[in-house]
Amino acid sequence: SKSGGRNQLTFFEANMQAAAIRRLKLLAELRHAVPDGQLELYFQPIVDLATGGIVKAEALLRWRHASGALLSPDTFIEVAEESGLIHEIGDWVFRTAAQQSKRWSELLGRDFQISINKSPVQFQPQTEAADWVAHLDAIRLGPRCINVEITEGLLLNLSDTVMDKLATLQASGMQVSIDDFGTGYSSMSYLKRLDIDYLKIDQSFVKELVHDNFSRTITETIIVMAHKLGLKVIAEGVETQEQCDCLGRAGCDFGQGFLFSRPLPAAAFEGLLAGRAG
Ligand code: C2E
Ligand code: CA
Ligand code: CA
Ligand code: CA
């Protein structure tokens, strides 16, 4: 009936409104996250597949929400990007990761590289590539200790702004990885124009590696291609020993995943590092 239709519409609108209100509330709370010290970095080891030693780490963002819940980035990064808060958050991530790298490099007596994630939004004109370079200088951390992970989406339309920012980071000596490699729509022509250091094979290929010929072929081909181009390869989402063995046979350089360790708070990571640094 007519009135039934109207009720459904109202119900739909009410749902939309509830979602919009939830989002606004999340945004209002997220504004306090940096000043109130609610953000945390977790660290996941990156392992040299030839030796089994921990040689690097990826920093993964967490939000200790006022409710006590530990939120993963999927629940708030989009809101951070849309609101522009990502710039403040990204700055905090960078500084915190640099501080940890400094500490662990001193503990180990050699450079300990930490990867950080940057969304495409973080390459817009107002951002901070030159500030980051200056900050590393100020805390006396070698730029090679920071590895910036970007996705192929950023490289789809390689604008002058993006090129400039990447060039600033790379000229300083910071390294760059392509995250989720193989899932983008990119032509890979950017590999010729940019000085990329690492490709990270997406988890979706690693997951199917052992049982699916297609995924294994893609993985093996990425590794051969990367090595011919002088790049190193990190496999993400390694969960089983079979996957690890298969990657080792294919000549993959590094692995990251639950097989080695889940992402850990800094103190727990440091404990792991003490026993297993490579
Ligand atoms: P990503 O960069 O691809 O990070 C890998 C994700 O896979 C992480 O999820 C990690 O916890 C998870 N993972 C690691 N090993 C395994 C495994 O063996 N199996 C499975 N199933 N998963 C594994 P997380 O921490 O929830 O992060 C999700 C995404 O959020 C990241 O994907 C990254 O794109 C984004 N992100 C994380 N930290 C930051 C940050 O500081 N800034 C920005 N802009 N984005 C971030
Ligand atoms: Ca990443
Ligand atoms: Ca480089
Ligand atoms: Ca990834």
**Among the ranges given (124-128, 216-220, 268-272), the one the predictor scored with the smallest mean pLDDT:** 124-128
Any ligand 1 atom below 6 A from CB of 255: no
Six token digits for residue 91: 């700055």
Ligand 1, residue 238: give the atom nearest the CA.
Answer: 18
Helix axes 86-108, 266-276, angle to 10 degrees: 30
Mean pLDDT to the nearest integer, 120-128:
79
Residues 89 and 122: beta-carbon distance below 8 Å:
no
Alpha-carbon span 237 to 201, nearest angstrom: 9
Bigger pLDDT: 172 vs 3? 172
Six token digits for residue 275: 């026993």
Share of the chain above pLDDT 70, in %: 95
Alpha-carbon span 57 to 47, nearest angstrom: 8
Rounded to the nearest whole angstrom, what is the distance from the C-alpha of residue 177 to the centroid of ligand 3? 9
Any ligand 1 atom below 6 A from CB of 239: yes
pLDDT of residue 1: 45
Q: Which residues pair with 198 in a beta bridge?
A: 177, 232
Question: Which of 62, 43, 67 minimizes the C-alpha distance to 54?
Answer: 43
Ligand 1, residue 180: give the atom nearest the CA.
Answer: 3
Six token digits for residue 120: 């495409």
Rounded to the nearest whole angstrom, what is the distance from the C-alpha of residue 14 to the centroid of ligand 1? 33
**For the CA atoms of the chain, what is the radius of gyration?**
21
User: Strands, E, within the chain: which ranges?
Assistant: 39-48, 54-64, 70-71, 113-117, 146-151, 175-181, 198-201, 232-235, 254-255, 264-265
**Among the ranges given (24-28, 36-40, 125-129), the one the predictor scored with the smallest mean pLDDT:** 125-129
Question: Which of 244, 97, 108, 100 minimizes the C-alpha distance to 89?
Answer: 97
Q: Which residue minimizes the CA distance to atom 22 of ligand 1?
A: 237
Rounded to the nearest whole angstrom, what is the distance from the C-alpha of residue 61 to the centroid of ligand 2? 10
DSSP at 277: B
pLDDT of residue 183: 86
Q: Which residue minimizes the CA distance to atom 42 of ligand 1?
A: 117
Q: Which residue minimizes the CA distance to atom 2 of ligand 1?
A: 117
Nearest ligand to the CA atom of 39: 1
Reported ipTM: the value is 0.98
Alpha-carbon span 42 to 262, nearest angstrom: 9
Rounded to the nearest whole angstrom, what is the distance from the C-alpha of residue 234 to the centroid of ligand 3? 16
Any ligand 1 atom below 6 A from CB of 60: yes
Q: What's the whole-model pTM score?
A: 0.94
Rounded to the nearest whole angstrom, what is the distance from the C-alpha of residue 43 to the centroid of ligand 1? 10
Any ligand 1 atom below 6 A from CB of 219: no
